[in-house]
Amino acid sequence: MAQLFSVMTQSNAAPMELNLARILRTSLRQTGGGQLAGLPSTLILQDTKTRLKLRLVVNLKTGITISSARKTETALVEGLFDPFSGEPPKFKLRGAWRKPLLKGR
């Protein structure tokens, strides 16, 4: 039996956080949780249009928790995940993405 992972948001989550959670839930259902093993424990995402930042905390046992991030934190992934734009989500890695991945080795 495949292990199920959850994607959690805060109770006062913004629409952008809820939209990202929906995208992640769909992706986890399609690919399974095995893809989480290669991720760092914390990812910072930034919306390219609004410049808002979100923190994703990845736990291999429970899943992903989404919360808002501080403006001073460096975003590792930029993307378009604003639910009001009407465009499909698009993501790209920034140059700083290697730092947390190499730190764990």
Low-confidence stretches of the chain (pLDDT beneath 70): 1-5, 30-37, 82-83, 86, 95-105
**What residues does 59 pair with on adjacent strands?**
63
pLDDT score, position 33: 55
Spatial separation of the C-alpha atoms in residues 80 and 61, rounded to whole Å = 28
Distances (CA, A) of 84 to 19, 28, 81: 10, 23, 9
With H, G, I as helix, E, B as strand and everything else as coil, classify residue 42. strand
pTM: 0.68
Q: Report which of 29, 36, 41, 23 is spatially closest to residue 91, judged by C-alpha positions.
A: 23
